[in-house]
Amino acid sequence: MSVEMEIQSTKNGGLNKLFPDARAALDGLVHDGMLLAIGGFGLCGIPEALIQALRDAGVRNLTIASNNAGVDGWGLGLLLESRQVKKMISSYVGENAEFERQFLSGEVEVEFCPQGTLAERMRAGGAGIPGFYTRTGIGTIVAEGKEHKEFDGVTYILERGIRADLALVKAWKADTHGNLIYRRTARNFNPDAATCGKFTVAEVEIIVEPGEMDPDEIHTPGIFVHRLVHNPRPEKRIERRTTRD
């Protein structure tokens, strides 16, 4: 089935979206130079199996919109180590020494974006909103080169919505129709990333049959999700461990 046919089948609600593994779930979707939106906050709520499959696919010159860039040797840090990332659109990059090295040497381009603005850019893209005005960043390098407009005597800057070629997200539970539930802190950038992708793949810890989840508890409706991969035993690393003597 072609990607176009799969998208239409997903819209019609008649497709079992579960794939056997992360590599299969990305088959036919990834290519050089694409824009990706990837969920997660630090190492919490990252689609780790999909990130590894993306690395193994060998695609290059990627632009990635994600709150941060993982850490050395894990998460999006794997893609930086393999030199697959051309540009990061991020809020926080302080935990990745390799990212710092590549940024300072000019090997990777970085577009810094405040966390709330980045979340809203993804949400706006998913809602079909091409841009919005915000006060965040006024008077800083964030505002450089952006349109300024005054509303009621207050200056705002124009931020563009993000519409990604592919979104990779992590959820706690899903049914085979793609309805997603996130767990606690992992419900951070994942819901917004899931809606802003032209094609969305979700990595999930628990898979159930349609009708087994309370509709009132669903965070991302299945209409936004095209493929699922089951990862029942994710490796949940700690970004920074602090202990007492």
pLDDT of residue 235: 76
What is the biggest distance separating any 2 CA atoms in the chain, rounded to whole angstroms?
A: 59
Alpha carbon distance 138, 6 (integer Å):
43
- Tell me the three state secondary structure of residue 211: coil
Q: Which residues pair with 220 in a beta bridge?
A: 180
- Cα dihedral across residues 73, 78, 82, 86: positive or negative: negative
Report pLDDT digits (tens) over 113-144.
999 999 999 999 999 999 999 999 999 999 99
Give which of 118, 130, 110 is closest to 192, Cα–Cα: 118
Pair of tokens at residue 96: 């990745």
Report pLDDT digits (tens) over 204-229.
999 999 999 999 999 999 999 999 99
**Average of per-residue pLDDT across 136-157:** 95
State yes or no: pLDDT of 7 exceeds 70. no
- How large is the C-alpha radius of gyration of the chain? 18
CATH topology for 3-8+17-129+161-228 is Glutaconate Coenzyme A-transferase (3.40.1080)
9: pLDDT confidence band, cut at 50, 70 and 90? low
Burial (CB < 10 A; 0-12, 13-18, 19+), residue 176, is middle
Alpha carbon distance 188, 119 (integer Å):
9
- Confirm whether pTM is higher than 0.85: yes
**Average of per-residue pLDDT across 11-40:** 89
Question: In degrees rounded to 5, what are phi and psi of residue 206?
Answer: -125, 130
